[in-house]
Amino acid sequence: MKITKKVLASMAAPTALAIVAVFIPTSAFAQTNLEGGIQAAKPDGAAGTTTLFGDDSIFNTIVNIMLFLIGAISVIMLIIGGIRYTISAGDSGNVTAAKNTIMYAIIGLIIAFLAFAIVNWVLKALTNG
């Protein structure tokens, strides 16, 4: 049997997971809620508290980072669509592809803005309620 990179990778992943599972202390699995898990993940002596919801929460930070990435990718795709439209030289297939790229980039920006508004609205409703 010839050992390829795919075979090595398929053998390495389960082996690594088994090794990690052996060395994880069982107290890490004893948490019964998300807040307890967040507190357990903090390094020893960490200042301040970490919350799940609120202004400085983990959920809010993750959502903001994801929405920023979606917005940045949409702007980049808008620029690429504009460049494709400019260099299409009148070819109808290239013009259509460039217009579709621009349209989908604008739709992506709109969805990112709406998602940001909805997530903030839901978070405020959860923290005030």
DSSP codes of every residue in 2-28: ---HHHHHHHHHHHHHHHHHHHS-GGG
Q: What is residue 98's predicted lDDT score, i.e. its pLDDT?
A: 92
Number of neighbouring beta carbons within 10 Å of residue 60: 18
> Which stretches of 24-91 are DSSP H helices?
34-41, 58-86
Q: Minimal CA–CA distance to 104: which of 128, 60, 129, 70?
A: 70
Q: What is residue 36's predicted lDDT score, i.e. its pLDDT?
A: 63
In the chain, the amino acid numbered 119 is: V
What the block records as the tokens of 98 is 């460039």
Q: Pick the range with the lowest mean pLDDT from 52-61, 73-82, 87-96, 105-114.
A: 52-61
Question: What is the pLDDT of the chain when averaged over all its residues?
Answer: 73
Task: Find the mean pLDDT for residues 6-21.
Answer: 60
pTM (global) more than 0.75 = no
Residue 119 binned pLDDT confidence (cut-offs 50, 70, 90): confident
